[in-house]
Structure 1
Amino acid sequence: MNNIFKGAGVALVTPFKEDKSIDFDALRKLVRLQLDGKTDFLVVQGTTGESPALSWEEKLQILQTVIDENAGRLKIVFGVGGNNTLAIGETLKKVPAGVDGILSVSPYYNKPTQQGIIEHYTHIAACTDLPIILYNVPGRTGSNVLPTTTIELAKIPNIVAVKEASGSMEQIMEIIRLCPDGFEVLSGDDAITLPLIASGAVGVISVVNNAFPELFNQMIHEALEGNYTAARKKHLDLLPVTKMLFEEGNPGGVKVALETRGILSGHLRLPLVPVSNSLKQRIVTETNRLIHA
C-alpha cells in the first residue's frame, strides 16, 4: 500500500459556540475555506481539533459534517489514537465510510518502550484496512518514536507514512534516508516544513493552514516542485505568525487568526483557555497584514 497523503494537509480545528457546544455552521465554513484555498487533504480530530475534550459521539458528528461539506473532493484522514491499545483497535473497527486514512498518535503517558510502540501499532494496524499515518510528537506523548522503530513499522503494509513532530531535523532526515518505497514522511511542525521538503518529505499536516491556506498551500507546492526561491519568500512571510500561533499553545492562537478572518469564534473547551490579550492583538495585526497583502 502506497502513501496517498501528500502536499498540504490541514489539522482542522473544532469551532465552538459561546456555550462550548460545537458550531457546525462554522465548521462547514472552515472546510469551504480549505477547498477554496486548495488544501490537499483534511485531517479531522487531531490534537488541533481538541480531540481529548470531545466525546466519541461528537467526534462522529464532526466527521460526518466534514464528509458532507467536502463532498468527496479531498481525502479525509481521521484521528484515532491513544494509550489503550485494545480500545483503539475496537474503535478502528467502527470508523464510518468516507474516511480515507487514519492518523494515530504514539501512546502517551504510559511511556512504552520502543518494542511496546511496535506492538501497539502492529495490533491496531491489524484492526483496519485503512492506511495509517503514524504520529510522533514527543512533546505531547512523553516518549520519542526512534527512527529504527518507525522503519520497522514501515514494513507493515497499511502503515504508509509518519507525521514527524519530534523537532529533530537529524532524526527526521534519518527516517527519510531509510524509509522503504511506499512509506513517506510528512512534517508535523509548520516552522520546519520547507527544509524538510527540501530533504525529501512529501508534505505536511499543518496548523497554520487552517487560517492561511491560500499562502501556505502555494508555499508547499512551490517547494514540492523545486521552486525554492518562491517557496522561501512565502515561508519567511508566514514565519512570524507561525511562531505566534504556538506561543501560548495550540489551537488557541490559530483560532484567533480564524476569528479575525470571520470563519469562527475563538472559543476553546477547558482545560484550554484563550490566549492573552497582548498575544491576541499581535496575531490579529499579523493576520490582517497577511490576508490583505
Structure 2
Amino acid sequence: MDTAKLRGLGVAMVTPFSSNYQIDYPALDKLIEFLIGNGVNYLVVQGTTAETATLSDSEKRQLANYVVKKVNGRVPIVLGIGGNDTHKVIEAYAKFDLTGIDAILSVTPYYNKPTQKGIYLHFKTIAQNTHLPIIVYNVPGRTGVNMTAETTLKLAHEFQGKIVAVKEASGNLTQMGYILRDRPSNFLVLSGDDGLTLPQISMGADGVISVLGNCAPAKFSRMVNLALQGNFTDAAKLHLGLIELIDLLFVEGNPGGVKAALNALGLIENVLRLPLAPVSDSTYDKIKKEIEKL
C-alpha cells in the first residue's frame, strides 16, 4: 500500500454498546459518519479503545465487515489483530475476511513478557504469514514489556514493505528519537499518545493513532495536519486548547473517558463491558463541560 495513507490522524474507534451490552450498530453508523465528516485520515477498528478483549470472534468478524461496508472506501481502514500467542494471531488473521482492510495493527505480546528476541521473532513470524502491511504497536503501559528502538528498527529494516510503521506509545521521546533518526525512508512513526502528538511531530513523526480523535476529530485533525505542514504556531494553539480534555479522557482509564465524551455529544450510550465501567459522575460532568467548549 501507499504508506502515505497512514499519515495524519487515525482514530482508534470505540465499539458502541446498547444497554443490553450488544454492539449498537446504529450508533456505530453515526460515529463513522461523524469521524469521516470531520476530516479523519483513516479508521482503526478493534484496537484497545474498541474493548476488543471483550468481543467474541464472531463479533469481531461481523464488526470488521460492517465497518468496511459502511466506509465503502472513503478512508483507509486498519484492523487490530494481535495477542500473546503468536500461533493464534496467525490463525486469527487466516480466519478474517480482510477484503477492504488496508493494514493490520498488531500489539506487542502482553502478560507473558517476552524478551526483545521473542518480540522480534513474534513479529517476524506474523510478517512471514500475512499479506497485508503491518503496523507494530508498542504500549508498555498495557503490555508490561517495552519494544526497544533497536528491535523496532531491526523489524523496520528487515521487513521493508511488510512492517510499514510503528505506533509508539511508550511516552519515551528519546526512544522515539532513535527510531526517527535511523528508520528506513518509507517507515512511518505514529504517536500513540494524544498529549505528545505535537512534540513528536515536531521531531519528525508522521501522525497519530488517537483516542481523542473519536470525540474531537475536527480540531485534532486540524492540529495534526497543521503540525505536519510545519505550522507549529497555529498547531500549538489548538493543542493547548485540547490538553484538559485529553487529560480528562484518561483520568479514569480508556475508553471510559472517551465513551463519556461521545455520550455527551449524543452519539453513543455510555455503556462499557465488564471489567470496564463508566467514569464517575464528577468526571463525566468535567468531560461534558470540555466537550461543550468545542
SS of 2:3's equivalent in the other structure is coil
TM-superposed CA distance for 1:2, in Å, is 5.8
Residue in 2 aligned with 1:3?
3
For the 8 Å contact 1:2–1:160, the answer to whether it is kept is: no
Residue in 2 aligned with 1:260?
264
Equivalent residue letter for 2:65: Q
Alpha-carbon distance in 2 for matches of 1:190, 1:266: 22
Residue in 2 aligned with 1:115?
117
Choose the corresponding residue for 1:156, options 159, 167, 180.
159
Residue in 2 aligned with 1:61?
62
Alpha-carbon distance in 2 for matches of 1:35, 1:276: 30
Choose the corresponding residue for 2:141, options 133, 139, 142.
139
Alpha-carbon distance in 1 for matches of 2:279, 2:12: 19
Choose the corresponding residue for 1:215, options 215, 219, 240.
219
Equivalent residue letter for 2:138: N
Q: How many residues align?
A: 290
Residue in 2 aligned with 1:206?
210
Alpha-carbon distance in 2 for matches of 1:94, 1:3: 25
Once the two structures are superposed, residues 148-175 of structure 1 have per-residue CA deviations (whole angstroms, 9 ceiling, x without a partner) of 0000010213000000000111111111
**What TM-score results when the alignment is normalised by the length of structure 1?**
0.97
Alpha-carbon distance in 1 for matches of 2:13, 2:120: 28
Unmatched tracts of structure 2, length 5 or more: none
Equivalent residue letter for 1:242: I
Once the two structures are superposed, residues 240-277 of structure 1 have per-residue CA deviations (whole angstroms, 9 ceiling, x without a partner) of 00000000000000011111111111100000011111
Residue in 2 aligned with 1:37?
38
Equivalent residue letter for 2:93: L
**What TM-score results when the alignment is normalised by the length of structure 2?**
0.97
Instruction: Please list every run of at least 4 consecutive aligned residues from structure 1 whose deviation after the TM superposition is greater than 2 angstroms.
Output: 1-4
Residue in 2 aligned with 1:284?
288
Matching of residues 6-85 of structure 1 within 5 Å: 6-85=7-86
Matched, 1:193 2:194: no
Give identity over the alignment, percent.
51
Matching of residues 265-276 of structure 1 within 5 Å: 265-276=269-280
Unmatched tracts of structure 1, length 5 or more: none
